[in-house]
Amino acid sequence: MASLVKFDRYNLIPLSVTSLCACPCRPFSKRTLTLAQRSPKLKLNVVLHGSASVFPVRLTRFYIDRRVVAGVARAEPESLDESNAKEEADKGHTLPTVKDSLSEQEQQHKSSQLRKRIVFGLGIGFSVGAIVLAGGWVFTVAVAAAVFLGAREYFELVRSRGITEGMTPPPLYVSRVCSLICALMPILTLYFGNIDVSVTSAAFVVVLALLLQRGNPRFAQLSSTMFGLFYCGYLPCFWVKLRCGLAAPVLNTKIRAGWPILPGGEAYWTVGLVATFISFCSIIAADTYAFLGGKAIGRTPLTNISPKKTWEGAIVGLGGCIATSVILSKIFSWPASWPSAVAFGFLNFFGSIFGDLTESMIKRDAGVKDSGSLIPGHGGILDRVDSYIFTGALAYSFAKILSLLYRV
């Protein structure tokens, strides 16, 4: 009995078929059929009829063909489903697919995340604006709370599996003590008027705790802890120095007269208030314009640390940051000249993107997408304040040195 074999689709290496015969007594033919087409699916139909020999099959290939036929038996229901789907499509019916349902779920999830991001973003923006206007101990306590939560998230990242594979993390009690010290540093800065005392005391306590721990202290523990003090505690203190330390009134500001007294004290328009407000607005503008520009025309990756950031988005963000700084400087009459306003906007953008990339590097080594889940739609507190960590020091230096000393 002869076998007629029909090859429709298959995923095989090139195979030479020189004989297809169920009877071993027949001579083998030298004709060859090479199957060179490749496809992820296999459909094999075998029809038995008559006694004519179509292609004799070598016995050495017989066992390979048996395995192929067994695989076809498992793949056949899928081909039947495809044929049924084609028949339904010919009749005008559309069948829902798994891919379509997954895409709809992804779109719903993205839209839900976008709504949460907008709602919580607006809420955070208005709350931060009110806190900045209040100033005094209200602003300082808010900074201390953000610092404490950010320090907790930082040390959780340091203790994550991605980072601990290459270094020894600090003990848990040292991480908690360091988080508390970071939260006290802004309050000590407001009380003493500078950061020197708080930083020196914090460093002494942390090093002492590491040296007195059980086991052998490691340099990786000291370096990660000291960077946590610098990153989460020392740098945010410059916002307190900027907002509460520079109390000189802004000259030629028409709206500063008769400004009401808020819970934080007499919040008239000082250099610290104006500089903090312009800096915050410039950072928000830089993040917003960079996101929109990257979505619209982003093509060239900025760095491997954060693949979603592009040079085109960064340039658009820089333009939006400088424009915001210049417009607000004309409203508040500070800085006095437009070149100084452009320089202030550039410093705000540089500090914003530098802080964002630094936090992205930490998260990349930790192997996580977000630093936490405290804020719905935004991730953790570090994901929201990363752009502000380095910017406070730059803004304070600009306002202190250039504005007060050189009157730019």
Give the model's pLDDT for residue 202. 80
The rounded mean pLDDT for the chain is 75
Number of C-beta neighbours around residue 197 at 10 A: 14
297 vs 199: which has the higher pLDDT: 297
Look at 46-60, 97-111, 245-259, 344-358 and tell me which has the smallest mean pLDDT: 46-60
How many whole angstroms separate alpha carbon 288 and alpha carbon 57?
68
Which pLDDT band, with edges at 50, 70 and 90, does 284 fall under? very high
Look at 56-70, 90-104, 145-159, 266-280 and tell me which has the smallest mean pLDDT: 56-70
Give the model's pLDDT for residue 406. 55
27 vs 209: which has the higher pLDDT: 209
Residue 29 has pLDDT above 50, yes or no: no
DSSP assignment of 333-399, as one string? T-SSSHHHHHHHHHHHHHHHHHHHHHHHHHHHHHT-SSS-SSBTTTBSHHHHHHHHHTHHHHHHHII
Which DSSP symbol is given to 214? S
Residues 40-62: tens digit of each pLDDT: 444 444 444 444 444 444 444 43
DSSP assignment of 49-97, as one string? -SS--SS---GGGHHHHHHHHHHHHHHHHHHHHHHHHHHHHHTT-----
Contact 392, 352 (CB under 8 A): no
Which DSSP symbol is given to 13? -
Contact 10, 44 (CB under 8 A): yes
- Going by C-alpha positions, the residue among 353, 347, 359 that lies closest to residue 317 is 353
C-alpha distances out from residue 239 to 183, 273, 279, Å: 14, 10, 10
342 vs 250: which has the higher pLDDT: 342
Contact 360, 367 (CB under 8 A): no
How many whole angstroms separate alpha carbon 186 and alpha carbon 144?
6
**Phi and psi based region of residue 350 (left: phi greater than 0; alpha: psi -120 to 50; beta: remaining):** alpha
Q: Residue 23 half-sphere exposure, CB side, CA atoms within 13 Å?
A: 10
| Domain ranges across the chain | 3-88, 127-406
Give the model's pLDDT for residue 253. 57
User: What tokens appear for 202 in the block?
Assistant: 């914090």
Q: What is the largest CA-CA distance in the chain?
A: 113
How many whole angstroms separate alpha carbon 406 and alpha carbon 306?
38
Over residues 374-389, mean pLDDT: 83
Look at 2-11, 249-258, 300-309, 347-356 and tell me which has the smallest mean pLDDT: 2-11
Give the model's pLDDT for residue 408. 44
Residues 67-80: tens digit of each pLDDT: 433 344 444 444 44
Give the model's pLDDT for residue 55. 45
403 vs 29: which has the higher pLDDT: 403
Percent of the chain with pLDDT over 90: 31
Give the model's pLDDT for residue 252. 59
Mean pLDDT is highest, among 16-30, 82-96, 125-139, 368-382, for 125-139
- pTM confidence score: 0.70
Which pLDDT band, with edges at 50, 70 and 90, does 258 fall under? low
Residues 309-341: tens digit of each pLDDT: 999 999 999 999 999 999 999 888 888 888 889
95 vs 127: which has the higher pLDDT: 127
Residues 285-315: tens digit of each pLDDT: 999 999 899 999 988 999 888 888 999 999 9
Give the model's pLDDT for residue 143. 95
Which pLDDT band, with edges at 50, 70 and 90, does 215 fall under? confident
Burial 368-404 (b: 16+ CB within 10 A, else e): beebbebbeebbbbbbbbbbbbbbbbbbbebbbebbe
Residues 231-242: tens digit of each pLDDT: 999 999 999 999
Over residues 212-228, mean pLDDT: 85
126 vs 394: which has the higher pLDDT: 394
Give the model's pLDDT for residue 64. 39
Q: Which helix (H) or strand (E) holds 3?
A: strand 3-11
